[in-house]
Structures are given as structure tokens and as C-alpha cells.
Chain A
Amino acid sequence: EVQLVESGGGLIQPGGSLRLSCTVSGFTFRSFAMSWVRQAPGKGLEWVSYIRSSGNTIRYADSVKGRFTIAADNAKNSLDLQMNSLRVEDTAVYYCARGNGSMGGAMDVWGQGTTVTVSS
């Protein structure tokens, strides 16, 4: 079964750091692109970051550039998002999602999400 499971969310003070992880199973991790997508309270979906480890391609949304770092561990089948200098506006549910090239890049598999709350 294809599955994505996020972990690492929690309550953190502004300026702090947090590392999210997404464990992948049921497919060959290095054959797909992966993204992080978030939803702030009362807001819509926002793409955050992308990685395609096979081609060394990484991108970030402007809102997180310079503060967040995405990484993939093909041996462990896991995707990480290191979040530094966290702001109140980073409060959101964070989802990892698989991008499927045969579907024009559409995100065909999603995790259940992990909640990050940035508050003093």
C-alpha cells in the first residue's frame, strides 16, 4: 500500500526550529518528486517546497526561502523539512505529497498531515 506518514509537528516559540519528517512506503521513493504543502488555520492550501532527489532539483516558496530546508534520504525512504527562524504565520498543518510525473506533476498521494503551532 502506498502511504505517507508525517511526524515532528508541535508547539514552538517564534524564532525556534523544528524538523518535520515524512516516511514513505509502497513505492520507489527516488522515482518520484515530493513536496510539502501547508494549510494555515482558516486558509487554503499553500505549496511550500519540492524535491526530486534523482535530479537534485529543489525549490521553495518565497514565503519560506532561506528559512526552510528540504532533504530526502533515499536509503531510509524519508523526506525531511528543517524549519528555522519560525514565525507565527508558519502555523499550519503540514502535508507531504507525492508528485507524479505521469500525471503532469499532480500530487496523487498525500499524508495525513502534522500540525505546527508557532506561538509564544
Chain B
Amino acid sequence: DIQMTQSPSSLSASVGDRVTITCRASQSISTYLNWYQHKPGKAPEILIYGVSNLQSGVPSRFSGSGSGTLFTLTISSLQPEDFATYYCQQSYTTPVYTFGQGTKLEI
């Protein structure tokens, strides 16, 4: 099974900061890497699919990069609504998926 490891597990930042979250796969997943944002009491939302493709409606301050086993999510200038938990997910082995353990972004 493919394991997904995110770092850091939690991150404190301020409005306007640039932040980067890293996701490492235990084996190559090509470009089948997706990022989700999850706020308490709400449904998770997709931000980025296929490493770097921004989902429609997602602000351009979000970006993704990487290939193979190492991937990053970058938020260029944090806004108050960005404080949430972020998950990477591999869909390389669809119909079996794996999520990272999550990165909680706090003020």
C-alpha cells in the first residue's frame, strides 16, 4: 500500500505569510496527487488535482508542485479564511485511495 506523509503536522502562521506544506509518497504516484481543505463542521473541498491544477473557484494564491514522490502545496499570502486543515491524497491506485495525515494551519 502507498503511504502518504505530510509535514509539518501543524503550522502556525499569520495573515499575509507564505506557507508551504509538503507531502511525500512511499512510492512514485506520477502526478496523481490532490490537495483538500477541511474546516470543522464542513465538507472537505478540493483545492488542487493532478499536482498543480487549480479547481475552479479556488483562489490563485494556492498552488501545487512536485512529481514522483515529493509534492508541495503553497499558499502565497495567507488570508483569514485559509486557516483550516489540509490533506494530500494519492489517486494513483484508484479505486484505492490514501490520504496524508493532515496539516493543521493555525493563526
Contacts of A113 in B (CB 8 A): 43
Interface residues on A, range: 20 to 34
Q: A40 within 8 Å of B by Cβ? A: no
A50 and B95 in contact, given A106-B49, A108-B46 (Cβ under 8 angstroms)? yes
Task: Evaluate contact between A103 and B53: CB separation under 8 angstroms.
Answer: yes
Q: Which of A100-120 contact B (CB under 8 A)?
A: 100, 103-108, 110-113
Task: Evaluate contact between A103 and B96: CB separation under 8 angstroms.
Answer: no
- B interface: dominant SS: loop
A104 and B50 in contact, given A44-B102, A46-B99, A47-B96 (Cβ under 8 angstroms)? yes
Task: Evaluate contact between B42 and A112: CB separation under 8 angstroms.
Answer: yes
List, sorted by A's number, 17 A–B pairs whose CB atoms are closer than 8 Å.
A33-B94, A39-B38, A44-B85, A45-B36, A45-B44, A47-B96, A50-B94, A50-B95, A57-B95, A58-B95, A59-B96, A97-B44, A99-B94, A106-B89, A107-B44, A107-B46, A110-B44
**Which residues of A does B touch, CB under 8 Å?**
33, 35, 37, 39, 44-47, 50, 52, 57-59, 61, 95, 97, 99-100, 103-108, 110-113
**Which residues of B does A touch, CB under 8 Å?**
31-32, 34, 36, 38, 42-46, 49-50, 53, 55, 85, 87, 89, 91, 94-102
